[in-house]
Amino acid sequence: MSRLEIISPEGLRVDGRRPLELRRVNSRTAVLSQADGSAYIEQGNTKCLAAVYGPREPTKRAALLHDRALINVEYSVASFSSGERKQKLRRDRRLMEIASTIKRTFENVILTTTFPRSEIDIYLQVLQIDGGALHTAINAATLALVDAGIPMTDYVCACSAGYVNNQAILDLNYLEESAEIPTLTVALLPKSGKITMLGLESRLHLDKLEPVIQLASDGCKQLKENIDATIRESTKSLAKTILQ
């Protein structure tokens, strides 16, 4: 355990939040000109940009699926995004793993059978990392997919939660993540409450799993309201331009 105090005696975290509080969320859709759908989301200091192209003809004929659309996810991280500068590798395995996790998360939600023999590309670009890059990227992808008008059964909302000092905490930032706190990332479909992605990479007592998942799920539901508001707002402004 690091020396750093994660929760102060007054019950505040390093960035001044209460344990069950999300970071400030700021999101917008239709930020890029070339993509069919795009979105930008800020969760605290973690910033992510998402672009969706498609459905369209697959670039690789071999990958074509006859009964449904192929989903392709690329996840990249800007070299200036974190504290230490990282030279981008051509095929970074860690990034590829994250991309395939995100791909699996969305495959069940997008109505892929509506577009047989076509391809949907989701490009995620993380601009700045301050913890929770994965769940921020998933939320950005949801926004961009909706902006592109791709039919989905539900939103996918993701959030992380951790457990420290006998208390579950929501939406960890970089300092908290690096303090060896067990961190759990959950992505769920808010309407049905079904969990589509779950990841935990350190030790957590089984008894504590339930409350942590519950907290992360609550976070997802809060984020859903936020994402929904952004989409409603952008749809309203879009409707205005059509009616003019």
Partner 1 sequence: MISVSERDYITKGVDVSIRADGRSRLDFRELVLETGMITQASGSCRVTLDGGTDILVGVKVEVGSIEPEVEAEEADILEDMEQMDQDDGITMVKDKDRGRIICNVECSPSATRIFEPRDIEDMCNEYSQFMNRVLNGSHGGVDLKALCIIPGSTCWILNIDVLVLDYGGNLLDAIFMATRGALHNTRIPRATVEQSDGRVEFDIADEETEIIRGWEDVPLCVSLNKIGYRHIVDAAPLEELCSSARLTVAVNRRGNLCALQKGGHGGIEPSLLAEMVQTAKQIGQTLLKRQDAALREEEERIAAGKDPIGFGAASRH
| Residue ranges binding partner 1 (CB under 8 A) | 26, 28-35, 38, 40, 42, 45, 47, 49-51, 53, 74, 76, 78-83, 85, 88, 121, 123-125, 127-130, 234, 237-238, 241
Q: Cβ 229 to partner 1, closest distance in Å?
A: 14
C-beta closer to partner 1: residue 62 or 206:
62
- Edge-to-edge strand list for the sheet holding 167-170: 167-170, 157-164, 183-189, 194-200
Q: Cβ 237 to partner 1, closest distance in Å?
A: 5
Residue with tokens 């990282």: 86
C-beta closer to partner 1: residue 111 or 238:
238
Q: Cβ 74 to partner 1, closest distance in Å?
A: 5
C-beta closer to partner 1: residue 150 or 212:
150
C-beta closer to partner 1: residue 64 or 127:
127
Q: Cβ 144 to partner 1, closest distance in Å?
A: 9
C-beta closer to partner 1: residue 33 or 166:
33
Which region holds residue 16: left if phi is over 0, alpha if psi is between -120 and 50, else beta? left
Q: Cβ 34 to partner 1, closest distance in Å?
A: 5
Residue with tokens 């504290």: 83
The three-state DSSP-derived secondary structure of 111-160 is CHHHCCCCEEEEEEEEEECCCCHHHHHHHHHHHHHHHCCCCECCCCEEEE
